[in-house]
Amino acid sequence: MTARLLLLEDDPAIARTVAYALERDGLAVMHSLLVHDARQQLASQRFDLLVLDVGLPDGSGLDLLRELRNAAATAALPVLMLSAHGEEIDRVLGLELGADDYLAKPFSPRELAARVKALLRRAGHGSPIAAAVPTVFLDDETGQRISLRGQPLPLTRREYRLLSHLLRGAGRIHSRDVLLAAAWGDDSESTDRTVDTHIKTLRAKLREMDPAREYISTHRGMGYCLDV
Ligand code: CA
């Protein structure tokens, strides 16, 4: 099974580099720019590892780490901390608070990927390299943008919501009703046909970016599934 990783990092350039390095190793990477978003993601989804920056626009990674270690569901989540070069105090605090590993910026993406793999192995995951086809979508929920293999997808607001929903429940079939609620809310003008039409344009955009793969499958009478 593909290991799922949450990256909490407010620097978009670093986030892109990290995501790219990890995607090559077959990991699924979700990205948050804010502590607030990461907290929501961690509460609603399963992750195998968290890469956590210390200095964030709406708080400290160290505070989030403390919270995670105090909650039963995330007490054992492997965490790799990232921090500004030379911030010795962060390193010490991070490790004291229960970070599993630590990297100071600037770091090489290969070094990070190696550490992540070591942590996953320690946590009982097989080699992520042996996992299925590497498929990486990077969902920037704050900016409402999704990238496929490092390339930002030109999505409308509805398409973003649809794909983001499919992505969060990757591998599961989502009924048209559920997708309708996720992307259109209470807009009663929308119908199942609306979902079908948007899935069609979404598929075309994904195909343009990656012609070799079909990411969204149709399950007759049931709905749609994002295959990873
Ligand atoms: Ca930062």
Cis peptide before 106 (omega within 30 of 0): yes
| Distance from Cα 172 to the centre of ligand 1, integer Å | 33
Check: CB of residue 94 under 8 Å from CB of residue 87.
no
| Those residues with Cβ within 8 angstroms of residue 189's Cβ, 6 or more apart along the chain or in another chain | none
Check: CB of residue 155 under 8 Å from CB of residue 183.
no
Record: fold of 4-122: Rossmann fold (3.40.50)
What residues pair up with 101 in beta bridges, in sequence order?
Answer: 80
| Distance from Cα 9 to the centre of ligand 1, integer Å | 6
The domain spans of the chain are 4-122, 130-226
Query: pLDDT tens digit string along 74-92?
Result: 888 999 999 876 667 777 7
Q: What is the pLDDT of residue 178?
A: 85
CA dist 136 and 51 (Å) reads 16
Q: For the domain bounded by 130-226, which CATH number is listed? A: 1.10.10.10
| Distance from Cα 148 to the centre of ligand 1, integer Å | 23
Output DSSP code: residue 158: H
* pTM for the full predicted model: 0.56
| Distance from Cα 217 to the centre of ligand 1, integer Å | 37
Helices (H), the chain: 12-23, 35-44, 61-70, 88-96, 109-122, 157-168, 176-184, 192-209
Query: pLDDT tens digit string along 153-206?
Result: 999 989 999 998 898 877 788 889 889 888 888 766 778 888 999 999 999 999
Q: How far is CA 219 from CA 194, 225, 226, in A?
A: 17, 7, 11
